[in-house]
């Protein structure tokens, strides 16, 4: 693991959602593989962060059938467009455009930004990963049976929906109609 600036390392270690991994730090509250690293900056900022989230392609997430290339391509293009706005959830305004790449089975989302404050930079890392996860979940195409992280996301959403119904909050958040 490359050397991480001391302030960023302390902030990552103090945050209960991150754990040391071979690639830096990983966010433990997501179903996806993540790597958060940081390097020194040439100005007064606490660090330059790199966040990498690895997602399955739609075809890799679908169980027992092959997704048609036109559906896979449309899904990926939509994912790319939605992720263009990822930094709207971050405090930083010093960032690069997201890099979204895919191979046969994985989509890699790379997010790079600088932060004046290490704790804020770490909170941004968490928010950015959660945005990527939510964007992936929004793009799940109905009509397929899913496996792996996609199945976990769907099961979690269904579970939360059932819990809300049992609690009486339902889809309208408990507000009278």
- Give the rounded distance of the alpha carbon of 158 from its chain centre: 20
Q: Rounded CA gap, 20 and 44, in Å?
A: 25
Structure tokens at 158: 């269904």
Q: Which of 61, 36, 38, 27 is nearest to 130 (CA)?
A: 27
Distance, C-alpha 99 to centroid of its chain: 13
Query: pLDDT digit string (tens) for 31-60?
Result: 999 999 999 888 888 889 999 999 999 999
Domain edges within the chain: 6-167
pLDDT tier, 157 (very low <50, low <70, confident <90, very high otherwise):
confident
CATH number of 6-167: 3.30.1460
pLDDT digits (tens, 9 = 90+) for 75-120: 999 999 999 999 999 999 999 999 999 999 999 999 999 999 999 9
């Amino acid at each position: 693991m490359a050397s991480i600036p001391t302030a960023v390392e302390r902030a990552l270690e103090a945050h209960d959602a991150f754990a040391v991994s071979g690639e830096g730090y990983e966010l433990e509250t997501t179903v996806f593989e993540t790597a958060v690293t940081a390097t020194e900056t040439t100005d007064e900022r606490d660090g330059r962060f790199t966040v990498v989230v690895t997602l399955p392609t739609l075809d890799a997430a679908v169980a027992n059938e092959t997704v048609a290339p036109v559906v896979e391509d449309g899904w990926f293009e939509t994912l790319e467009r939605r992720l263009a706005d990822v930094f709207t959830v971050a405090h930083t305004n010093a960032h690069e455009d997201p890099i979204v790449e895919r191979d046969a089975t994985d989509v890699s989302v790379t997010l790079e930004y600088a932060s004046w404050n290490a704790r804020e930079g770490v909170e941004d890392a968490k928010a950015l990963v959660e945005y990527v996860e939510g964007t992936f979940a929004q793009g799940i195409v109905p009509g397929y049976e899913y496996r792996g992280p996609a199945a976990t996301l769907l099961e979690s959403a269904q579970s939360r929906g059932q819990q809300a119904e049992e609690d009486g909050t339902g889809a309208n958040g408990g507000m009278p109609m």
